[in-house]
Amino acid sequence: MAKQANDNGANPGFEARLRAAVDKLCANMQRSDYRHVALGRIFLKYISDTFEAKRAALLKEDNRRRGDALDDHVPDTFLAAAAATRGLAVVTRNTGEFRNTGVETVDPWAAARA
């Protein structure tokens, strides 16, 4: 049977587990102090996700202008945006899907096929 939600719609078991995890991570801090750490991390995650989504939208628009739309490959677009945002390479067998994204690709199976 599913647990009942609180007035705010949250699951009480989840809240307790989340609070216990935060207490463990911030063991040397007062509860009143680590709320700033938690809110800062939530804000950074939000900014990171928003930036990646904007980068993916710009990447799709740029490729659409060149006639190489990635509409069929939306996950690839977001993967390319996340890699570009973090300065990482995409490790994939389908390097052709990323050719116009400006992201470095690595095919780890290329040596095995050669």
pLDDT at 105: 92
Domain-embedded: residue 28: yes
Domain-embedded: residue 2: no
Task: Report the CATH number that the domain containing residue 57 is assigned in CATH.
Answer: 3.40.50.1010
pLDDT at 91: 92
For the chain, what is the radius of gyration of the CA atoms? Answer: 21
Query: Can you tell me which residue has the tokens 């809240």?
Result: 15
Domain-embedded: residue 54: yes
Domain count, the chain: 1
pLDDT at 113: 67
* pTM score over 0.85: no
Low-confidence ranges of the chain (pLDDT < 70): 1-12, 68-74, 112-114
SS3 105: strand
Instruction: Please enumerate in sequence order all residues whose Cβ is within 8 A of that of 23, keeping only pairs 6 or more positions apart, or say none.
Output: 31
Domain-embedded: residue 95: yes
Domain-embedded: residue 89: yes
Cα angle 74, 79, 83 (rounded to 5 degrees) comes to 150
Instruction: Residue 99: give the domain boundaries.
Output: 12-113
Domain-embedded: residue 7: no
